[in-house]
Structures are given as C-alpha cells and as structure tokens.
Structure 1
Amino acid sequence: MASSISIPVESVGNAGTYKAHAKVAARLVCIDALRGFVMVLMLLDHLRETWFVNYMVTDPIDATTILPAIGFARFAVSFCAPIFVALTGIGVYLYSINHTVEETTSYLLKRGFLLIAIELLFLSPLYWGIVPQPTFWLQVIWCIGLCMIALAVLMRLPRPALIALGLVLVCFHNLLDPVRLTPDDALFPLWAILHQRDVIALPFGFVAKTTYPILPWLGVISLGFGIGNWFRPEIAPETRQRWLLMLGFGMIAAFIVLRLLNVYGDKPWVMVEGSPLRTVISFISMTKYPPSLLFLLPTLGGGALLLVLFERIQTSRLTDALAVFGGAPFFFYLLHLSVLRILYHSALAIWGPNDGQAYMFDNYNWVLVWFIAMIVPLYLPTAWYSRLKRRRRDIKWLKYF
C-alpha cells in the first residue's frame, strides 16, 4: 500500500554533541513507531488482498451486505496511506533542516523518480499472471513519488501559503467530483492521474490503473511539510503534544459534524434498519480512491493522536519494536509484498485456482494465522537493514530505501 521517507538522524536538527543527538533520536522515535504501526496494519491488509481476494471490499463498502469484521478491518487499514503520506511531508521538512534547498530538491527528485520506477518496473509486474492483462498499477508508491517531485517545487512557498494550499486541496477537492472525462477527451490521462480513478489504455495491450489520483495526496504531503517545524529540536515535547492533540481532536470533531450533516465530503451514509452495527459501518465507510475529505479527517486526526501516544511511551518495548519497522519502511514494503506474491504464485502453480474461482485459497479467518506466521520472519531482515542504514551512513544509496 505505502512507503514513507526515512529520516536520517544526522540530517535532523542542529545537534553537535552526543547528548544533542540523543535528544534528536528520542524525539523521532514517535515518528518511526507510528510508521511501524502503519506497516503492521498494512501487512494485514495485503494479506487479505493476496490470499483472500474472494472477499472483495468496495470503495466505500456496502454496509448492508459486508461482513461486519471486514467493515471494521477496512476502516482500521484506512489509516495507513494518509499517515504515511503526512509523515513523508514531516520527514522532508526535517531532512531540509540541515540541508540546503538545492540538496533537498535533489533528494526529492531522485527519490521521487526512483519510487515511480519501482512502482512501474518492479511492483506492477508482481501482479502479472494473476490479472487478465498486464497492468501498471499506479498505487501509493507512484503517488508518493509524484508528490515528492511536486514538493520539490512547492516547498519554496512561504509556510503559510503551503499550508493554505494543502488545506484547499484536502478540503475542497471533492467539489471536482462531478468533473468526469472520458478516454476520448484530450485531457483524460492527466485528469485520471490528478483526480479521477480510471483506466488508461497504453500501447501493446497494456493498461494503467490510476488507483491513487494525486491531487488530495499532494494536499496531505504539503500539510505534513507545513507542520514539520513542530518537530524541531527547540520545540518542547509538551508544546508539540499540545498542538498535536488540538489538531487530532479537532479533525475528528470536524469529521463527526460533517458526517452527521451528510451534505459534503463523501457519499452519504445510511441508516440500516434493525442494525445499529451496520449503521455505524456505513457511517465510517468513506471513499479512498481518491481520498475524500471525510476519509482524511479521522485518519489524519487519529495519526496526530498516535504521535502523542508514541512519544509518551517511547521507552516501551512495543514502541521499540514498531520503530524497527518504521526505521526501514520502504525495505519492509518491498520485502513483504515480494514474499506474499512469491508465495501466492507458488500456491497457484502447485494447486491451481481454488473451488473453480481464480486466485483464492482458504478462509478469511486464517488472516491472523498468516499474520502471526509472517511477522517475525519479516521483522528479522527489516531489523538487520535498519541497523545497516544507521551503521553504514557512508553508503549513500541506502537512504533511498
């Protein structure tokens, strides 16, 4: 689903002594822990996508027919992409503190184009052979890559202007929903990339699916960059946490009010007669592709609250374990998707499609079993790579993964 920029400790703050570096590292544990928490959620989601595609989840889901467990699971994993993109913006700001504008621009451009290339040339082919035709899936890695390239220009704006732009894109992009172009329109490919989730026909029978139109995500990364100065070394933890709590609770309150009004920000929710549980599922089922305003408010608000939580418990074993995943997020992302696809292709080759329906193997109740079986084997190489990045800072290309 997602990747985020890792923040080299030596790139953050003005620390010149070991004590100052330790302070910087402690301050960033909450970011790595939150990123790691999202990676764990993402693994659960990708397990479902890989092994249990017979349990399709629409966007937004139909609360009258969906299994309640899947409905709530879908809401839980909805936090992944918004938090990752916002943390990418924060990470870029922190990287820029001890780097010139030119150095930060160069890093963003290199990282952005690398992410796009990996999405097209590595991640998309992982799906070939289990889809009807070769498809370039323009998903979250592609989206973050384009957003980083755009941020290389936008970060030159004054901070208030960048935050204002981010707010406009996040809050008002749903006004563009009625604008629908067809493949016959000259601007269709561009509009499909910016806002309209669709399929673009390519030569030689290939197609591209714009799963993550970038316009609202560009707003999210801009807002992340805009609040990045909250994590500067001179900002007291108490002050930062107070700001994050106000932001988080404010966004969640705004979501509840707008969702109750049922007039803007997403498709209307419905009362499911005789089922309060399904009514709740309808209330929390929002559009992700592209993410609606009401999709982003609770997920980003929840992310702000989790940052406070992880900063307050940053010495716990749980936080330390999550920070390992968060310290090498892109490595973990590529690793777990590769392992899942290799296992799936192997099972498909050995046993064939299950029950006459292509690409499905087993019961949804086994998702947690698969998760427990995979989390430790995936943790070990991720921990190794995370330590390698910290130990071998002389190997420059490591910071891009």
Structure 2
Amino acid sequence: MAASGRQPLGVTGAVVKSAGSRLRSIDALRGFVMVVMLLDHVRETWFLHVDITDPVDARTIMPALFFARLAASLCAPIFVALTGLGVFLYARNHTAQETTSYLLKRGLLLMAIEVFFLSPLYWGIAQPTLWLQVIWCIGVCMIVLAGLFRLPLVTLIVLGLVIVAGHNLLDPIRLSPDAPLHWLWALLHQRDLLVLPFGLVAKTSYPVLAWIGVILLGFGIGPWFLPHVSAQVRQRRLLLLGVGMIALFVGLRSLNIYGDKPWFVVDGDPARTMMSFMSLTKYPPSLDFLLFTLGVGSVLLAFFERIRDAGVTSALSVFGGAPMFFYIFHLAMLRVLYHTALAIWGPNHGILFGFDNYGWVFAWYLGLIIPFYIPTAWFSRLKARRKDIAWLKYF
C-alpha cells in the first residue's frame, strides 16, 4: 500500500509538477472556504446581539446576511470531504498501521480541542456549554474512518452514498431526553442538548452520521488525484461531478418532496422566494445541502487547479496549508478583540457589545484577512520547514 503511492524512478518533471499542483489546489480550496468562513465568525462576534433564530430564514433574515451565511455554509462539507481526500493521499505513502495511528491521534486531538479550548471561548457570554461543532465532528469522522479505510474502495463509496442520500429518511425519528438511546442518537443524527454534570450542557450542533458519509465520499475520489491521472482528466471529472450534483440539487429541490424541508413562494417577492429555495438545512446536513455545497466545491477544486499559478491561489494555499492553526488562532483572536472592545466601551446591547450596522461586520472581516494571514503564513512555513517536529503535522 505504501509503495504504490511513491514516485517510480525516472518520473518526469512534468508529472512532479502536476503532483505539486494537484496538492496545491486542494490547499487553495481549503484556504478559500476558511476565508469565507471568517465572515460568519466575525458576524458571530460583532452581531451576536441580533436575535437570529435561523440565519437562513427566508421570511425574516436580511438578504445580505442570508447570502453571506449561504457562502459560509460551503466550509464544513468541503472541509470534511477534503479531509477524506487527504487521508487517502496520506495512506498511499504510509502503512495501514501508520494511517490508523494518525487518524486516531488526530481525531482524539480535534475532539479535545473542541471541548477544552474552543467551547470555553464563549463561556463569558453564554451558559457553560460544550459546543460539539465541526472540529469535534471531523475528529469523530477521522476515528470512524480509521476503522473503515481498509475496506474496498467501492464499498466505502457505496456506504457513503447510502448515508448521504438516505439519512433524511431518519428525520422523523425523535428521541426524548429520557429515552435509553437519546445520547447516541443526538450524537449521530438529532441535534439536541445533553445535560452534563456540574451545570454543563453539550450541544450536538454537528450530529456526525451524514458527515461520516461525506468523509467516505471524499476518500472515494482519492484515485483521481494519483500521479498517473492527468490534470485534464481530473479537472473534467471534477467539473462533471460538480455540475451533475448541482443539477441534481436543482431537480430534487424543485420537486419539493425529499432532501430537505419544503420551500415556499413569497408572493410579490422573487428574491425571498429564491432565498426560500436556497434555505437549506445544515444541522444535520440535508441531502439537498450536501448536493449543493459539495457540487460547488467540486467545481471550485477544478477551477483552482486551472489557475494554480495565480498569486491568489498561492495565498489561499497558505491558509489551507495550516488549517487548524488558522481555525484556533482566528477564533481566539476574535474573542480577544470582542472582550477588549467590551472592556473599553462597555455593553451597548444589554450585556453584549456589538455593531448596529451589518456593514461594519463586513468591514471588520475585510480588515482582518491580512492580519490573520501573516501569522498563518509564518506557521505554514514552519510546518513545511520543520518536518522533525512531529506534532506540527496535526495543525
């Protein structure tokens, strides 16, 4: 298994260049969705006082916030799928035992980071809650993949398709907190609160079942990124896959019978009708949500490979090359900025500080990209230079 992923003696420079380009395009896409994600996290910092029960509620939410949230929704599914793809490429150059060890260690590390570092960042403005969000979810998915990746690739793809296409059939199953399997079901498919000792609660924001299907499908397209597959063939496959998924999303969503909650027509307001059509369920991710976001991601991946020599792509690949560092760093710095503003100016919306105008949220977002890029670039270079520091690979 390890030998099959290494370059044979006498490989041409063109193939080496192609191999580097395909990996850089993966980092560029990962970096792109993380930069887009930053806008949503800036909104959660400076616009937290605005009572938004559902950020994709087509009837009430402001359009600018709706479409910003829709763009940010690309992050989790694309990142989980790319994690699966990255595991496939890692496994080609490592033994099964090394891959299993890596997946277990990193999975447990991600779960610990979510529980012991990321969740407490918000305890000053909310009830002490363990937010089991995307980092927790990716950690669980990696641990599950550690037990499955040895199966035949076709088996993993079929299992991923069955989960992604069929998990909405389980939506009617709702377990009450006193049901024997409530904890398990809340972790798998039912977004819910879990009561913990010492006054804590856990919020299963990212039930993991559907995401397991996504990481399996990301692993399943791994052969397209092997050195013997030309860039033209890979790009054509990615474009066909992406366009096909988007077309399937439009057709399934138009039928309005399966794959997500029903959409509706808003009389005299075509914009809000379109918003309703695009109002997709993320927690847990519906079939329609995954068709749209992963379809867009597949098209973007082909696009980034085609423009691989552009400066923007290189800059984005810096974010994508140190994803965990950027994720932890930017969330911590947003908390520092928030509490600094709160200490200086005091609360101006009840017990919270925030901006009245969403335009200021967008301005802060644009202003923070470069300051967040600089330390991420430093860490990315350190990670590439110091291969002898084993723990760096986990970030």
Q: CA deviation at 1:357?
A: 5.4
**CA deviations over 1:163-192 (Å, ceiling 9, x no partner):** 011001111100110000111011111110
- Residues 50 and 355 (structure 1 numbering): CA distance in 2 closer, same or farther, change over 3 Å? closer
| Secondary structure of 2:232's aligned partner | helix
Matched, 1:325 2:299: no
Relative to structure 1, the CA distance from residue 13 to residue 31 in structure 2 (aligned partners, 3 Å threshold; closer, same or farther) is farther
C-alpha separation in 2, matches of 1:71 and 1:12: 43
Structure 2: distance between partners of 1:294 and 1:185: 30
TM-score, normalised via structure 2 length = 0.95
1:14 aligns with 2:10: no
Residue 73 (str. 1) matches residue 68 (str. 2): yes
Q: What is the deviation of 1:18? A: 9.4
* Matched letter for residue 385 of structure 1: F
Q: Counterpart in 2 of 1:388?
A: 382
Root mean square deviation, CA, Å: 1.6
Q: Secondary structure at the match of 1:208?
A: strand
| 1:1-400 alignment runs, 5 A limit | 13-14=6-7, 19=13, 21-59=16-54, 61-131=56-126, 133-356=127-350, 358-400=352-394
Number of matched pairs: 390
- Once the two structures are aligned, what percentage of the paired residues are identical? 65
Deviation of 1:56 (Å)? 4.5
Change (3 A) 1:348 1:245: same
Q: Distance in 2 between matches of 1:134 and 1:18?
A: 57
Deviation at 1:58, TM superposition (A): 4.1
C-alpha change, 1:13 and 1:34, in structure 2 (3 Å) is: farther
Measured in 2, the distance between the counterparts of 1:387 and 1:121 equals 27
2:7 partner letter = N
Name the SS of the counterpart of 1:368 in structure 2: helix
Check 1:62–1:372 CA distance in 2 against 1; reply closer, same or farther (3 A cut).
Answer: closer
Q: 1:54, CA displacement in angstroms? A: 3.0
Inter-CA distance 56–247: structure 2 relative to 1 (3 Å threshold): farther
Kept after mapping to 2: 8 A contact 1:163/1:223: yes
Unaligned runs of 5+ in 1: 1-10
Are the aligned partners of 2:174 and 2:190 in contact in 1 as well (CA < 8 Å)? yes
How far off its partner does 1:347 sit?
2.0
Determine if contact 2:49/2:349 at 8 Å carries over to the other structure.
no
- Whether the 8 Å CA contact 1:286–1:292 is kept in 2: the answer is yes
Tell me whether 111-120 or 359-368 shows the greater mean CA deviation. 359-368
Kept in 1, the 8 Å contact 2:355–2:361? The answer is no
- The answer for unaligned runs of 5 or more in structure 2 is none
CA distance in 2, matches of 1:35, 1:139: 18
Per-residue CA shift, 1:335-373, capped at 9, x if unaligned? 100000111122223333213353534421112211122
Does the residue aligned with 2:194 lie in a helix, a strand or coil? strand
CA contact under 8 A between 1:13 and 1:232: conserved in structure 2? no
1:369 & 1:12 partners in 2: Cα distance?
Answer: 45
- Aligned AA for 1:169? I
Instruction: Quote the offset at 1:62 in angstroms.
Output: 2.1
Amino acid corresponding to residue 186 of structure 1 in structure 2: P
What displacement does 1:65 show? 1.6
1:266 counterpart letter in structure 2: D
